Structure 1
Amino acid sequence: MPITIMGDREFENVPSIKSKALRINLNENIYGTFAEIGAGQETVRNFFRSGGASGTIAKAMSAYDKDFSDAIYGIEEDKRYVTEVRLKKMLSHEINLIEERISREKHPNKLFFSYANTVATIDFAKQYKGHGWVGVRYQVDPSEGYNEISLHIRFHENDARLQQITLGILGVNLIYGAYYKYDNPKKLLRYLYDHIDKDQLEIDTINFSGPRFEQVDNRLMSLQLVKNGMTDAVMFAPDGNNILPAKILYKKNILALRGSFRPVTKVNMDMYKQSLELFIKEKKVSEENTEVIFEITLSNLRAEGEIDERDFMDRAELLCSLGQTVMISNFQEYYKVVEYFSRFTKERMGLAMGVNNLVDIFDEKYYRHLSGGILEAFGKLFFKDLKVYLYPLKDPETGEIVNSDNLKVHPRMKELYKFFKYNGKVVDIEDYNPEILDIFSREILQMISDGKNGWEDMLPERTSAMIKNQNLFGYLEKKIEKKV
């Protein structure tokens, strides 16, 4: 059997696509429909070719004509077809037809499923690579409700035929994983790339729901996408649900704040409020069209060694409770963040950061992998319509307030720094709160760890209570340890 290199599956014998499809077909209880729009009937083709499909495939269809598709699934208000809403309608419609047409009395053990995708492959000019929504709604017990796995993909191949083949492989992996790996969603996620290289396909959003996934937190599954190299960035909304980055970033003004947020402090929120106030005063920026993103990098999550999922969830809970949209990324350098946002918008962008972060940006060691070094990075960072909003630093030894006028970069970088500063690319946040400049999240975390009091007033309103009530960052355990 072929070998796939994918995380802990390295050198492991991976079932072929044909054998996966055949195993599904030979299960006498698995029975359902395939509805594929936009890239051929590539998934169901694998099931037909593997043999024994007559007991599995109830129907396979492609409603390519828009009018015909609308007649089946309804008309979308935005007139778009490659959307999550469309996928959900397809899954619901097809499952309802199975339930209506197949008698439970006659088939009490049947495990119904509906697989669907709505996809746009690469365009003729090869400028738009293509993307799509893929999902399966299914049962693992005929007496239970339906489970659902839905995901958004981006193609990276430059040939429509190759994209179709890749989509067909992904579809088989998804259905196979749904039935045989549902008890371990993390493994299921990795197995989606069986016989697919990560250079071929990107999965940037995934959601699990249903009785078998009640204990699954989709934010953790988003984290796995970045951790496994399946995408560079994922996002989730204030309600805690995963969200497609393109959906909220498309044609938006974007203000991003990077930090550990471990925990989120009054300094973080003051930086957010003051930078937003400056940002929306800029030309071509309106508050209604502005999206604020709190970004945590994967390297930040790994700062203490391996990623601590509980620690990640604690940060996520706090930021979501404050009504913020969160992005987890694999972008160590800021210019990569800007490049990523530029995939979705040409509007004005802003980066809010502290003095130490800006000094790091002017450190050449981060750009040695680029042929053009720091100049190439800065060309990518600042050629866009972007500004840095700089929050001051209080020197712990001298008490001096450090801002864009007196911060110190490497001597070789002084002229480069002056060029960007005096061209208006760096804007000082002047209306800051001087009383909170001594607050540092690492010191607060240490106080919580040591079971000390006094950190509560350093955090935004309600945040300290949330830490105590929900035992975030090990608060309760540390208090008990101290008493003992």
Structure 2
Amino acid sequence: MPDMIMGDKEFQEIPSVKSKALRINLNENIYGSFAEIGAGQETVRNFFRVGGASGTIAKTMSAYDKDFSDAIYGVEEDGRYVTEERLVKMLSHEIQLVEERIDRERHPNKLFFSFANTVATIDFAKKYKGHGWVGIRYQVDPKEDYNEIILHIRFHQNDAQQQQITLGVLGVNLIYGAYYKYDEPKKLLRYLYDHIDRESLEIDTINFSGPRFKDVDNRLMSLQLIKNGMTEAVMFGPEGVNILPAKILYKKNILAFRGSFRPVTKVNIDMYEKAYELFLKENRVQESRTEVIFEITLSNLRAEGEIDEEDFMDRAKLLCNLGHTVMISNFQEYYRLVEYLARYTKMRMGLAMGVNNLIEIFDEKYYRHLSGGILEAFGKLFYRDLKVYLYPMKDPKTGEYITSQNLKVHPRMKELYKFFKYNGKLVDITDYNPAYLDIFSRQVLKKIEKDEIGWERMLPEGVAQIIKRKKLFNYQRGVNKIEN
């Protein structure tokens, strides 16, 4: 098709908010509506100010009153308004009106769009900073189906007016990027922060869909959010769709399991299953109110140098195929993970880990940046309703099984270790399978890459088949080999 959008040369410098809005306005094909709730009409204001908006803006509205909003978009079952579901209803309703009211035969080249946001800015007590959903549904070819970009934001500014201004700039960046950077989604993501201080706004969820994004894996877009410093943690579900952490963690019991999962071995699954059984036996822990998170840290992804996106996707695909919810975080220290989870719940939390991980927790070098050192970290880690479920390790020299009972920590840490151990914060996993303790993921990975005999037996049922079928972890990459 003739390119109706990307006709002129790329700007040499970051274009201003005004120039972005004007470029959209001066494109005779781009045409649509704005629906903004909760923070005023801050995005569309930028388009009005620069002039030439009559050919771009079909309608702008703010159904600010809840009853009026419900009359237009319907009543939400949970009674909330700042939700992804509400945003999707807004986008669908508004784009439908554009389609119904504009004659396609008279305007064959029009590229319709609907931009919407539903936002709660900071409250008067300044206790809740505010958050919101922002999205656009749009065309880049009038004969194609619609594309969609939806994201969730968290404000970090302490002034409602500043939050409104930031939201308006973000909206312009999103619309501009949607039309002029859709073929480079990673760049589109970075450009969302044009003229916005990274400290003022967090983007913790984003999903791309539609014909122009059919090859975009949203899990990889989640990784970009972490790499670009836009947020500290992202989550995606078994279907591979990015999930708002608050949506699934709110008021839940949470069991977190950190690992490299490169690949998932029988040790990993045994640790997870046994820890989960123990966690469900705790008082006030109900299975229906419990969420299990498989966490991979950014430092783990960088363990071999720069982040290998293909390697990341291999791990993500495997965990999703096994039906798990995955978190990617920038929390090298466990106390930061616990602090993050505590934003969303006051219910019981658990950490499943191996002996090596516990030894690292008692290593003072990880806490030199804290004024209170390791004591401050442990206060943040254990003052909450938290337990550690400890999976044993086999000493390679002596063959002895190391548990919390015979674990040796640095002499300076002995009393601290005893305090937490005898206060019931450490729970040994005792019904483990001893045969699994000789399985190490690094050795398994080397066997997979070389296709050595026997690696399949070290993995849970079905995992080897997934690795072979999808050619994960460099299994037979580039080799046309018929499996027997």
Whether TM-score is above 0.5 comes out as: yes
* Cα deviation digits, residues 22-49 of structure 1 (max 9, x gap): 0000001100000000000000000000
Structure 1 partner of 2:9: none
1:449, distance to aligned residue in structure 2 (A): 2.1
CA contact (8 A) 2:129 2:158 kept: yes
1:284, distance to aligned residue in structure 2 (A): 1.5
1:13, distance to aligned residue in structure 2 (A): 2.2
1:63 matches 2:63: yes
**1:313-462 matches, cutoff 5 A:** 313-462=313-462
| C-alpha distance in structure 1 between counterparts of 2:95 and 2:175, whole Å | 15
Structure 1 partner of 2:210: 210
1:447, distance to aligned residue in structure 2 (A): 1.0
1:313, distance to aligned residue in structure 2 (A): 0.8
Structure 2 partner of 1:233: 233
* Cα deviation digits, residues 252-283 of structure 1 (max 9, x gap): 00000000000000110000010011111111
| C-alpha distance in structure 2 between counterparts of 1:217 and 1:172, whole Å | 24
| C-alpha distance in structure 2 between counterparts of 1:285 and 1:34, whole Å | 44
CA contact (8 A) 1:448 1:478 kept: no
CA contact (8 A) 2:115 2:137 kept: yes
**1:109-188 matches, cutoff 5 A:** 109-188=109-188
Structure 1 partner of 2:246: 246
Q: 1:95 to 1:479 in 2, by over 3 A?
A: closer
SS of the residue 2:473 aligns to: helix
The farther-off stretch of 402-411 and 472-481 is 472-481
| C-alpha distance in structure 1 between counterparts of 2:140 and 2:477, whole Å | 38
TM-score after normalising by structure 1: 0.96
CA contact (8 A) 2:450 2:475 kept: no
| C-alpha distance in structure 1 between counterparts of 2:478 and 2:181, whole Å | 37
SS of the residue 2:96 aligns to: helix
1:230, distance to aligned residue in structure 2 (A): 0.3
Structure 2 partner of 1:31: 31
Structure 1 partner of 2:198: 198
CA contact (8 A) 1:449 1:478 kept: no
* Cα deviation digits, residues 5-29 of structure 1 (max 9, x gap): xxxxxxx721100010000000011
SS of the residue 1:437 aligns to: helix
Task: Give 2:144's aligned amino acid.
Answer: E
| C-alpha distance in structure 2 between counterparts of 1:125 and 1:202, whole Å | 21
Structure 1 partner of 2:98: 98
CA contact (8 A) 2:335 2:378 kept: yes
| C-alpha distance in structure 2 between counterparts of 1:480 and 1:32, whole Å | 49
1:396, distance to aligned residue in structure 2 (A): 1.2
Task: Give 2:398's aligned amino acid.
Answer: T
| C-alpha distance in structure 2 between counterparts of 1:357 and 1:46, whole Å | 51
| C-alpha distance in structure 2 between counterparts of 1:465 and 1:111, whole Å | 45
The farther-off stretch of 148-157 and 402-411 is 402-411
* Cα deviation digits, residues 298-338 of structure 1 (max 9, x gap): 01001111111111111111111111100000000000000
| C-alpha distance in structure 2 between counterparts of 1:26 and 1:175, whole Å | 14
1:53 matches 2:56: no
SS of the residue 1:476 aligns to: coil
**1:470-481 matches, cutoff 5 A:** 470-477=470-477
CA contact (8 A) 1:450 1:478 kept: no
CA contact (8 A) 1:186 1:224 kept: yes
Structure 2 partner of 1:5: none
Aligned residues: 472
| C-alpha distance in structure 2 between counterparts of 1:423 and 1:292, whole Å | 24
Structure 2 partner of 1:296: 296
Q: 1:478 to 1:48 in 2, by over 3 A?
A: closer
| C-alpha distance in structure 2 between counterparts of 1:353 and 1:154, whole Å | 31
Structure 2 partner of 1:8: none
CA contact (8 A) 1:235 1:327 kept: yes
Structure 1 partner of 2:307: 307
Structure 2 partner of 1:256: 256
Structure 1 partner of 2:8: none
The farther-off stretch of 326-335 and 443-452 is 443-452
| C-alpha distance in structure 1 between counterparts of 2:129 and 2:284, whole Å | 29
| C-alpha distance in structure 1 between counterparts of 2:25 and 2:134, whole Å | 20
CA contact (8 A) 1:451 1:479 kept: no
User: Can you give the 5+ residue segments of structure 1 that lack an aligned partner in the other structure?
Assistant: 1-11
| C-alpha distance in structure 1 between counterparts of 2:142 and 2:478, whole Å | 46
SS of the residue 1:22 aligns to: helix
| C-alpha distance in structure 2 between counterparts of 1:480 and 1:300, whole Å | 31
CA contact (8 A) 2:449 2:476 kept: no
* Cα deviation digits, residues 49-108 of structure 1 (max 9, x gap): 011111101111000111100110011111111000000000000000000000011111
SS of the residue 2:197 aligns to: coil
Structure 1 partner of 2:85: 85
The farther-off stretch of 407-416 and 356-365 is 407-416
Task: Give 1:141's aligned amino acid.
Answer: D
Task: Give 2:403's aligned amino acid.
Answer: N
Task: Give 1:69's aligned amino acid.
Answer: S
Task: Give 1:296's aligned amino acid.
Answer: I
Task: Give 1:270's aligned amino acid.
Answer: D
1:478, distance to aligned residue in structure 2 (A): 8.0
SS of the residue 1:166 aligns to: helix
Structure 2 partner of 1:7: none
Structure 2 partner of 1:14: 14
SS of the residue 2:474 aligns to: helix
| C-alpha distance in structure 2 between counterparts of 1:423 and 1:380, whole Å | 16
SS of the residue 1:173 aligns to: helix
SS of the residue 1:444 aligns to: helix
| C-alpha distance in structure 2 between counterparts of 1:296 and 1:272, whole Å | 14
| C-alpha distance in structure 1 between counterparts of 2:479 and 2:16, whole Å | 52
User: Can you give the 5+ residue segments of structure 2 that lack an aligned partner in the other structure?
Assistant: 1-11
Task: Give 1:22's aligned amino acid.
Answer: L
1:146, distance to aligned residue in structure 2 (A): 0.4
SS of the residue 1:190 aligns to: helix
**Identical positions, percent:** 79
| C-alpha distance in structure 1 between counterparts of 2:162 and 2:379, whole Å | 34
Task: Give 1:392's aligned amino acid.
Answer: P
Task: Give 2:236's aligned amino acid.
Answer: F
Task: Give 1:243's aligned amino acid.
Answer: I
Task: Give 1:437's aligned amino acid.
Answer: L
SS of the residue 2:384 aligns to: coil
